[in-house]
């Protein structure tokens, strides 16, 4: 999930530090529940984590 977040952020024009923040949020969201695949974090879950830290996903 970290890698997907990093790629998503870079493809949406974020610089490396901001892309790393997005990727970390994706990774953090993915370890908050058991399993993988269908249990991967949703965009809403990642946005909630980012909002908690005063960050947001690119639109």
Domain boundaries, the chain: 2-52
Query: Rounded to two decimals, what is the model's pTM?
Result: 0.80
Tens digits of residue pLDDT in 22-45: 999 999 999 888 877 778 888 899
| pLDDT computed for residue 54 by the predictor | 86
| pLDDT computed for residue 28 by the predictor | 92
54 CB burial (10 A radius; 0-12, 13-18, 19+)? exposed
Handedness of CA 32, 34, 35, 40 (dihedral sign): negative
Distances (CA, A) of 35 to 10, 16, 24, 47: 27, 29, 18, 20
């Amino acid at each position: 999930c970290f890698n997907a977040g990093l790629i998503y952020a870079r493809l949406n024009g974020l610089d490396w530090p901001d892309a790393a923040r997005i990727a970390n949020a994706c990774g953090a969201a993915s370890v908050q529940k058991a399993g993988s695949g269908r249990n991967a974090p949703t965009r809403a879950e990642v946005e909630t984590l980012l909002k908690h830290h005063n960050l947001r996903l690119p639109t």
